[in-house]
Amino acid sequence: MTPKKICGIGAGYVGGPTCSVIALKCPEIQVTVVDKSKERIAQWNSNKLPIYEPGLDEVVKKCRGKNLFFSTDIEKSIKEADIIFISVNTPTKNFGNGKGRAADLKYVEGAARMIAELATENKIVVEKSTVPVRSAESIINILRANHKPGVTYQVLSNPEFLAEGTAIDDLLHPDRVLIGGEDSAEGRAAIEQLCKVYENWIPRKNILTMNTWSSELSKLAANAFLAQRISSINSLSAVCEATGADVSEVALAVGLDSRIGSKFLQASVGFGGSCFQKDILNLVYICECLNLPEVADYWQQVINMNEYQKSRFSAQVIESLFNTVTDKQIALLGFAFKKNTGDTRESPAIHVAKTLLDEGAKLHIYDPKVEEEQIMVDLSHSCVIAEPEMIKNRISIHKHAYDATKNTHAIVLCTEWDEFVELDYRRIYANMMKPAYIFDGRKFLDHEELRKIGFIVRTIGKKIMKTGIS
Ligand code: UDX
Ligand code: ADP
């Protein structure tokens, strides 16, 4: 049997784009994305989608109202669906057992309980959110303990590997799709049903089926490996700064070894985003619970190195500005955790901004996609400056990079937006206080050109030039 209706629970960064692409590629399937947040659903039904993702608007416009629906009628959608995707948030727990490390599964559990309460026919429940190993077991236990007479469930693990900013392309052309399920006739039949959905646009050879726990662990492992590469190159950036080596040259040389490969070797102010830190903390916690402290320590070090990198970069800014930024005007260009997204979760810019605020700086922030309100929320939350009014006085959010940099002592670049390469730096230099500094936390501007203009340039993974200001 081919599935006719899919329900996606959770209209966030994962659920929204994933379900939209399924609708695009499977015109025969009716896809309904539900969320308990009325506001989010209203945004998905409007002309301004709640998330910025290149190509997403076009996909949604093409399918919405035809075979793609966004709704708050969770009950109807669950009842009708053959397959239900759980794509709710799984933040790190901020209280109780496993605080600061374990994944908080309350939303996944809530979704499972809701399905058990509402479903009146057999369902395939797909775990899309990234979850700890053996979470599928908890979901199935909840479903089977609360099922209605005659209703059976199969739970599959189908982790999502999309990266923000390239989500649509990642969904259209994934390296692989993983489907983990129970090793039983019913389990294999459920896996087959989900394969049928993906086979609408993904070659069968790229769809890997496996046991549920392998699938769950593979997702954590992939993120941990990617983050580990960034921490590795960032650790070497500190060695470069101390020796005169250039981390870009080292990354190029190392990455040309086909066994290593060139991706994810860009040294930076540190990695951010909703997944890397959360998933590694989660892995560390699992290892501790399994009494594998050496393994836990190994992965914890990837996080520690990332914290070190963010602090090192912030300290470099302060040290270079004569060891004090009190009352200095500093332009912060880029607030998102990477380019082509408006997402600020775990963005290194937050760490840098807070450090500079703590030291008394006045910040002028510009990001092409992050809303002013979001920046204020991120910087008010657990900032040492207790008074919200005080924060407001020390932060101005600008609509253009040129306004943000006017009359400032320094530019601190935290996100690698393409438009920052295109800026007229002669114009910017002319309007800044002198000496004018640029701290390139992404190592992506033309530093020689900037030095010719007159800027003092500092970046990651390259020894500071002592020869004059050029
Ligand atoms: C990541 C994974 O790539 C994706 O497969 C998973 O599904 C979710 O987590 P995402 O967090 O959206 O995706 O972005 P990603 O492109 O992986 O970047 C994460 C962070 O690492 C960003 O802050 C980025 O700027 C940084 N990064 C990336 C580097 O600092 N250097 C690099 O070489 C690559
Ligand atoms: P992710 O990045 O994992 O997609 P988001 O926070 O962007 O996470 O989105 C998760 C969405 O899931 C939120 O919009 C939230 O309102 C929704 N959600 C969480 N629990 C439920 C639930 N039980 N029913 C419906 N929606 C839910």
Q: H/E/C letters for each residue in the chain?
A: CCCCEEEEECCCCCHHHHHHHHHHHCCCCEEEEECCCHHHHHHHCCCCCCCCCCCHHHHHHHHECCCEEEECCHHHHHHHCCEEEECCCCCECCCCCCCCCCECCHHHHHHHHHHHHHCCCCEEEEECCCCCCCHHHHHHHHHHHHCCCCCCEEEEECCCCCCCCCHHHHHHCCCCEEEEECCCHHHHHHHHHHHHHHCCCCCHHHEEEEEHHHHHHHHHHHHHHHHHHHHHHHHHHHHHHHHCCCHHHHHHHHHCCCCCCCCCCCCCCCCCCCCHHHHHHHHHHHHHHCCCHHHHHHHHHHHHHHHHHHHHHHHHHHHHCCCCCCCCEEEEECCCCCCCCCCCCCCHHHHHHHHHHHCCCEEEEECCCCCHHHHHHHHHCCCCCCCHHHHHHHEEECCCHHHHHCCCCEEEECCCCHHHHHCCHHHHHHCCCCCCEEEECCCCCCHHHHHHHCCEEEECCCCCCCCCCC
Ligand 1 test: best mutation among 164, 170, 344, most atoms within 8 Å of CB? 164
Mean pLDDT of 59-69: 98
Check if the beta carbon of residue 154 is closer than 8 Å to that of residue 181. Answer: yes
Distance 90 CA to ligand 2 centre (A): 9
Residue 180: other Cβ atoms inside 10 A = 25
Question: Residue 469: its pLDDT value, please?
Answer: 39
Check if the beta carbon of residue 177 is closer than 8 Å to that of residue 207. Answer: yes
**Which ligand has the nearest atom to the CA of 159?**
1
Distance 72 CA to ligand 2 centre (A): 12
Q: How far is the CA of 403 from the CAs of 237, 299, 338, 406, in angstroms?
A: 32, 42, 22, 5
State if residue 255 touches ligand 1 by the CB under 6 angstroms criterion.
Answer: no
Check if the beta carbon of residue 330 is closer than 8 Å to that of residue 408. Answer: yes
Q: Say yes or no to pLDDT of 109 above 50.
A: yes
* Annotated catalytic residue 240: no
Instruction: Give the position, in ligand 1's atom list, of the atom nearest the Cα of 227.
Output: 21
Check if the beta carbon of residue 415 is closer than 8 Å to that of residue 334. Answer: yes
How far apart CA 448 and CA 220 sit, in angstroms, is 40
- Tokens found for residue 195: 């394969």
Question: Residue 43: its pLDDT value, please?
Answer: 98
Mean pLDDT of 172-188: 97
Ligand 2 test: best mutation among 89, 92, 106, 374, most atoms within 8 Å of CB? 89
Q: Say yes or no to pLDDT of 354 above 80.
A: yes
Q: Dihedrals φ, ψ of 333, to 5°?
A: -100, 120
Instruction: Give the position, in ligand 2's atom list, of the atom nearest the Cα of 16.
Output: 4
Check if the beta carbon of residue 313 is closer than 8 Å to that of residue 352. Answer: yes
Check if the beta carbon of residue 214 is closer than 8 Å to that of residue 185. Answer: no
Confidence bin at 440 (pLDDT 50/70/90): very high
State if residue 221 touches ligand 1 by the CB under 6 angstroms criterion.
Answer: no
Distance 345 CA to ligand 1 centre (A): 12
**357 CB-near residues (< 8 Å, 6+ apart):** 363, 379, 383, 384, 385, 391, 394, 395
Residue with CA at minimum distance from ligand 1 atom 21: 271
**140 CB-near residues (< 8 Å, 6+ apart):** 153, 155
Shortest CA distance to 218 belongs to which of 269, 261, 160? 160
Mean pLDDT of 56-84: 97
Distance 87 CA to ligand 2 centre (A): 6
Question: Residue 20: its pLDDT value, please?
Answer: 98
Q: Say yes or no to pLDDT of 131 above 90.
A: no
Distance 337 CA to ligand 1 centre (A): 9
Neighbouring-strand partners of residue 69: 32
Q: Say yes or no to pLDDT of 69 above 80.
A: yes
How far apart CA 317 and CA 328 sit, in angstroms, is 12
Mean pLDDT of 336-360: 96
pLDDT digits (tens, 9 = 90+) for 184-200: 999 999 999 999 999 99
**For the chain, percent of residues with pLDDT exceeding 90:** 89
Q: Say yes or no to pLDDT of 466 above 60.
A: no
AA identity, residue 47: N
Mean pLDDT of 23-49: 97
Check if the beta carbon of residue 165 is closer than 8 Å to that of residue 338. Answer: yes
Q: Say yes or no to pLDDT of 468 above 60.
A: no
CA 423 to chain centre: 26
The rounded mean pLDDT for the chain is 94
Question: Residue 129: its pLDDT value, please?
Answer: 86
As a whole number of Å, the CA-based R_g of the chain is: 24
Mean pLDDT of 330-357: 96
Ligand 2 test: best mutation among 7, 20, 35, most atoms within 8 Å of CB? 35
pLDDT digits (tens, 9 = 90+) for 210-266: 999 999 999 999 999 999 999 999 999 999 999 999 999 999 999 999 999 999 999
- List the single range of 142-151, 295-304, 417-426 with lowest mean pLDDT: 142-151
Residue with CA at minimum distance from ligand 2 atom 7: 12
Question: Residue 363: its pLDDT value, please?
Answer: 98
Question: Residue 376: its pLDDT value, please?
Answer: 93
Residue labelled with tokens 């969904």: 171
Mean pLDDT of 345-352: 97
Question: Residue 94: its pLDDT value, please?
Answer: 85
Question: Residue 470: its pLDDT value, please?
Answer: 34
Question: Residue 385: its pLDDT value, please?
Answer: 61
**Catalytic residue, candidates 7, 19, 26, 275:** 275
